[in-house]
Structure formats: C-alpha cells, structure tokens
Structure 1
C-alpha cells in the first residue's frame, strides 16, 4: 500500500510561457507522471474527493502507468497524420460514429486552424521525437499571412497554439516577429471607450449591432501578454489587463457563472445586452464558457501577479466544480444536464483540467492546492477512460464534445481543440517536478 501527498506545487513547477518552455526543474518525468496518475484512483472515493486530500492507494491500482495517456495520443497521431496531407486544410471535427477527421480550409475566419499544429508541438514536447517537430513546423508555417487578421479576435487562438508553441517548445526564434505582428493585429480591435477587445464583426453576427465581446476572448490575452514581454509595445499588456478587468466586472453573474456574449455601446461603454451564441439560452450556464473564464483568469494572474485575478479565478472555478456530474465531464450546458439525453462536452473538461493544473500551483493553502490538483486528475482520468477516449474508435484523442448544439452543429463529436487542451494538460503534468509527489 502507498500514500502520496502533493508537495510544493509552485509557479516554477508548472507550464508558463516565459523564457523557457515551462520554467522546468523537471527530473525523472515518467516516474513523476506515474505517481500523478496513481492519485486518480483516490478520486473514486467520494469522501476524499470532496476534501481534496490524498489518501491510501492500493498497489493493485498501479496499472495506471505514467505514460499510458501519452502513448495513446501518439498512437492516434500515427494513424491520423498520414491521412492529413492537404496543407490548405486542417482537422476540425470527427462526426458522430465516423472515424476520420473532417478537414476545413485554413481561412482567415476559421478560428480553429492553430490547434492541430499546437497538438503536434505538444507531442514533440512530450516525446522529443523529431518527426512531430517536423510535422508541427510544416503545419504551422502555412498560415504566416494570418498575422494581419483584424476581422475578429480569434487571431490569438489561431496563432499562439501554433507559432507560440513553436517559439517556446520548438525554439523557433524566427516566429517572434510573426507573433508580435499578430499581437498588434489583435490589439487594433481594442475599444478604450468600452475597455475590451471587440470579438466579432457585426457583419458576421448581425444579431448584435455594436461592440461585441465574448468570454472566449479571455484566452487571446495570452498573445498580448507574451508580446509585451518579448519586445512588443507596453500597450499590449495594458490592453490585456483592461480587458480582463472589464470582463470580470460585466461578464459574470452574482453566482460567478458567465454569460457568453455581451454587447456594449461602442461610444459610452454601457452594457446593452447579455446573450449567448452557443449556450442553451441567454440566461443559461454554458459549460465551455465557464471553462474559458477559468483558464483565462488563471493566465491573467500568471502574467500580472495581481491577487484580484487569482481570487476571481478561484471563485469561478469553485462554482464550476460545484456544478459537475460525478465523472467531472460536464454537459454542454449546466442548465440542461439533469436530462440524461443531453450531450456532454469533453472540450470543456479538457480546458479546465489544463487550467486547474496551473491554478493549483498558485495556491498558498495546501487544501486548495490539493483540491484543484485532484479535480484536474479526476477530469483527465475520465477523459482518458474508454467512455471518452477515441482510441480504437476514431482518429482523435477524445470523443463526446459539443461545439454549438444551439446552432445545430458539432453535437457529440470529436473536436480538435478538445484534443489540444487535453494534450496540453498532459504536458503540464509531465513538467511538474518529481519533488511535488513524495511517498510517505
């Protein structure tokens, strides 16, 4: 019998986009991940799950070996990559009961184009197999011209998973100028009257006539923070902070759940409407929207060290965790999850799992540290299980995501961004130091 306790999870141990890939002190990575996945066994016990405290792990549970999930992902890429040869397209989804990725053109309005090269960069990070670096470079460099996109906010999603990870993981210093240009394009959409970056154009979404900001935009702030630290204008940092402050003030209900879409008066900054595009209803709690908020405010704290953002990240995280079902993978909208026929959204779970691994490292309180860490492990354990894994069923890492049920598409499918945040979470786990888990 063994017991494992989480020790000293600090910001130095976790994935951060600083001067090195993750500010790594890592040694004996595979042994460390083995111990990490043993913790997943704890979470089958409701009492220890509620408290977030590590307890005794039976030796018989040791079959959750450290590299199982990584090997599964690599085997899936070995199947998928030879099929994905058209560099003018990228994989976006696998339809229900299909096996192969449906590819879409790498258009300037297609927000998901950066996730596939990002997946490849993380696989290179996890394995150091040059094959994946070569594939990542090939898939990244086909959309350099996207650095001039000013039509929408999604340039952050499109460029940072690809070029950002290429710069950080792949040491591709020539990507720096592309990222700086991309940040300038994103910053051009900031409206100082409102205090946020405009997400969508009104031509694309005619329901709203003025300044639209969506909760998803929080993740694009990473591009601005990175640029400000790497030779870009100081205004990039200032815009990112102001956007986070305004969103924190206006985008969340009193119970710390999030709206999806806010429409502001572009002159006065007054909030005109609070709506949804992908949730069940304007007043419902869209699960991936809450996930974007958790991830976004965790990264904002990372970059600013302003405690108000950490406190807010905790509050919206605690609300999200309180709404989860037993397997920690939410329904696509929390307000319909009591209906067992409603579809799950594995992408939301992947986003939050990745965020919680980082957030746990910012906790001064050991109980909070362990609670968030254990919640992340529970999410990854569910996602890696046969219930959600694509292994043997499709070419993706994960199944059972829901992109936009309210719009009638991407319902109970595999999604490329679910795979991206899942493999990012695995990478973050691997880069935790062996000192974080000690046998007692």
Structure 2
C-alpha cells in the first residue's frame, strides 16, 4: 500500500488521509443537517442531487438519522450531538408502543421486522453509551415486538405486515415470508438475551439466522432477497425478489446485508456456519463487482443494458467486510478490501462540496431499477435508482468510524 510521509515521525497511508478529509467534511455536513432537520427525520430516499425532504417519520428508516447522531457522538464526544439525539427520544417512545390508532392518525407504518434498524441504532445504542434506563426500556420493548414475529413452524422471523394495497397473491405470500434484510435486525434479539438473561430471544435469533443460511444463500454464495415458507406448516417453498432484477438474480444490497448480518451472527454465537455463510457471500460479492469496484443494483442484471450502481450496498458491504475481518482476516487482507470500497465511494460518489446538500452519498438505488422511459419502467410506474439514501449515509459513516485508531463504541459492541 502506498505511503505518504507527513513528517519525520508520522507514517500514514493515502487511505488514511482520504478518510481524515472525508470525516471532517461529513461531520461538518452532519452539524448543518442538525440545523436543517431541527428535530424532524429526513425521508429515506432523497433526490439525485442529494437533498432530503421532511418529514420521514413512521417508516422503517426512522433510526438512521438519530443513529447517525449517536455514531458521531461516539466518535467525537461532543455533548451537543448527544443533546440533539435526545430530541428524538419522545418520538421513539411513542413509536415503540406501536398503537395502531396512533400509527394510522400520524401516517406511521405498523412496526415489522425492521424494529432493529429503528431501535437498536437508537435506543439500545443510547443505553450502551449513557446507561439511560428509559432507552433500555424502549430497546427491550422493541425486542418483544421482533420476538413476536418469530414463527416456530419454519424457524424464521416474518418480514412484512399485511397491506391492503398489495395484490391478493402478495398478501398471501407475505404470511410466510422472510427477507435477507432481517439479519441486521436479529442483533436486537441477541442484545435482549444478554440484557435479560432470557434464552428465548437468543434461540429465535440463532434459529432464524440458521434458517436463512440454509435457505436464502445459494450454492454459489449469492442470495435471494426473500424466501417463502408455508405459513401453516413452515415447510420451505422457494426464493423470490421484490427489489432485485428477477427471482433468480442477486440484489446487491441484499448481498451486503448477508455479508454483514452473518458476520454479526457469528460474533454473538461463535457458530462457524455463520462465519462460512458470510465468507461465501463476500466471495460472490468480490467476483461480481464491476471493474471499477462499483456494485451494480443487481449482480445478475444484464450488463449489456442500463445498469445503475447502488452506493448504499457498497457502504453496507464495507462495514460487513470490516466486521468479518475481526473474525477472519490474514494480515489485514479484508480491511484492504473494505478500504478500496470506501475509497471508491469517497472519490466517485460524493456530492460536490458546493452547493450544500444533505446527503453524504449519491447514486443509491432502492430497486427495482429500470431505465426511465423503458417499457419496464412504464409498466411499474416508478424508477428506483440514482437516489441519495439515508442508510447509505449511515453505513458510510460507520465504516469510516470503524477504521479510526481509537476504541470507539459501536451499536454492535455489547
């Protein structure tokens, strides 16, 4: 790796200089965003040029902006950031109650399997950082919600709720559906098990991760976005996608969730099947990225057609690779893989410094992504690409924080 001499006593890498400059700029933007958001939550999906509207409250992404404040507090130890986070505590306390009448009146989604994204990154993390008892209570309530979605017949956590706007076929399918994103929510259950001493949380988390390693990871290391079970018997039916190119393709953000989620499951269990699953998913990722290092929206989408990238998948994967490197790395090999992804994000996918915009990253893709004006886009009535995504920003910040020389407490450190 190329070295730069800063002075006679300091030897740093080009990557370190790049990250130092980037973190300085991201922190400045974060403080400015505090003024702009003023206690509100940005929408999950921003514009192509990096602007986020308000209010985004009541979605699966409620935890990412407040969670970013806690990440920044952990890295900078600025009490101003902690006080800014605490403005969101009343909202989180209301949200975890999951009162259907309140949710309907305020336009909130009822809570589903994504409670980990909402409350682990916020209430649990706040408790780990400060010892707040009220945050501990919120965290444990959210773990109860997640545990309540565990299906003993089939050993999986049910993903989405029933929505009246869905087709009858999809509403039926949802009764027995698990999705790859859920791997990033099960740490909430591992934390609750440790915090309470109740094994039911850990048993459900480990059984769910085991089932996903068995069913949702294919032989070649690629992953299904979702997997369907018979909701009555629990017997496996097969994989499918909602946000990828096809039912047999490999949605890149799902692949990133798998790398990271299985590595975290190994952290909490020591089960080598999870380590192997993360390794296999990473190997598929490495062999499937584009020549310049970008991750396309879907690894199996035809490359002779319009193929947007997904920077959120890249930032999530970089965190997962760094986590995996804590448990399985030879001479920093995996850290170098992650550093190359982070460097690509910083060099090719950040907004210009002027004019000021909210997002840390551009070029995200929720998926499914179809070229504007194409027949597929006309049929589906939407185009989910070239967006700024709040979760892409969150995991970019976390990935850089993971590479800081000091011992910084992360949400997963319990």
Coarse TM-score class (shorter-chain normalised): 0.7 to 0.9
Partner Cα separation in structure 1 for residue 183 and residue 133 of structure 2: 26
Q: Does 1:348 align with 2:313?
A: yes
In 2 relative to 1, CA 212–306 (structure 1 residues): closer, same or farther, beyond 3 Å? same
TM-score normalised by structure 2 residue count: 0.84
CA contact (8 A) 1:93 1:410 kept: no
Moved more, 340-349 or 182-191: 340-349
Aligned with residue 181 of structure 2, among 213, 216, 227: 216
Moved more, 132-141 or 67-76: 132-141
* Alignment correspondent of 1:247: 212
* Alignment correspondent of 2:57: 106
* Alignment correspondent of 2:375: none
Aligned with residue 186 of structure 1, among 146, 151, 163: 146
What's the secondary structure of 1:303's corresponding residue? Answer: helix
CA contact (8 A) 1:356 1:373 kept: yes
For structure 1, the 5+ residue unaligned runs are: 5-30, 41-61, 434-440
Partner Cα separation in structure 2 for residue 124 and residue 316 of structure 1: 32
* Alignment correspondent of 2:394: 420
Moved more, 187-196 or 254-263: 254-263
Q: Does 1:82 align with 2:31?
A: no
Partner Cα separation in structure 1 for residue 223 and residue 123 of structure 2: 30
Moved more, 152-161 or 325-334: 325-334
Partner Cα separation in structure 2 for residue 431 and residue 227 of structure 1: 29
Q: Does 1:399 align with 2:362?
A: yes
CA contact (8 A) 1:160 1:223 kept: yes
For structure 2, the 5+ residue unaligned runs are: 99-109, 370-379, 408-414
Q: Deviations over 1:317-358 (max 9, x none)?
A: 111111112332201111236247321100000001011111
CA contact (8 A) 2:260 2:323 kept: no
Partner Cα separation in structure 1 for residue 352 and residue 126 of structure 2: 26
Partner Cα separation in structure 2 for residue 230 and residue 213 of structure 1: 26
* Alignment correspondent of 1:301: 266
Partner Cα separation in structure 2 for residue 225 and residue 327 of structure 1: 37
Q: Deviations over 1:193-214 (max 9, x none)?
A: 0100100123365415131111
Partner Cα separation in structure 1 for residue 361 and residue 2 of structure 2: 31
Partner Cα separation in structure 2 for residue 219 and residue 235 of structure 1: 18
* Alignment correspondent of 2:373: none
Moved more, 256-265 or 144-153: 144-153
Q: Does 1:164 align with 2:124?
A: yes
Q: How does 1:115-126 map to 2 (within 5 A)?
A: 115-126=64-75
CA-based RMSD? 2.5
Q: CA deviation at 1:100?
A: 2.7
Count of aligned pairs between the two proteins: 376
* Alignment correspondent of 1:19: none
CA contact (8 A) 1:390 1:399 kept: no
Partner Cα separation in structure 2 for residue 78 and residue 392 of structure 1: 16
Aligned with residue 94 of structure 2, among 118, 125, 145: 145
Q: Deviations over 1:405-435 (max 9, x none)?
A: 34624421111000111111122111567xx
Q: CA deviation at 1:241?
A: 0.2
CA contact (8 A) 1:137 1:166 kept: no
Q: Does 1:71 align with 2:71?
A: no
In 2 relative to 1, CA 173–430 (structure 1 residues): closer, same or farther, beyond 3 Å? farther
Partner Cα separation in structure 2 for residue 389 and residue 245 of structure 1: 40
Q: Deviations over 1:31-53 (max 9, x none)?
A: 99x84x53x4xxxxxxxxxxxxx
Aligned with residue 373 of structure 1, among 313, 316, 335: 335
CA contact (8 A) 1:356 1:375 kept: yes
What's the secondary structure of 1:257's corresponding residue? Answer: coil
CA contact (8 A) 1:91 1:116 kept: no
Partner Cα separation in structure 2 for residue 302 and residue 182 of structure 1: 21
Partner Cα separation in structure 2 for residue 219 and residue 333 of structure 1: 20
* Alignment correspondent of 1:334: 299
With a CA cutoff of 8 Å and minimum separation of 6, indicate the structure with the bigger relative contact order.
1
What's the secondary structure of 2:308's corresponding residue? Answer: coil
TM-score normalised by structure 1 residue count: 0.79
* Alignment correspondent of 1:321: 286
Partner Cα separation in structure 1 for residue 54 and residue 294 of structure 2: 26
Partner Cα separation in structure 1 for residue 39 and residue 136 of structure 2: 26
Q: CA deviation at 1:387?
A: 3.5
What's the secondary structure of 2:42's corresponding residue? Answer: strand
Partner Cα separation in structure 2 for residue 125 and residue 390 of structure 1: 27
CA contact (8 A) 2:43 2:57 kept: no
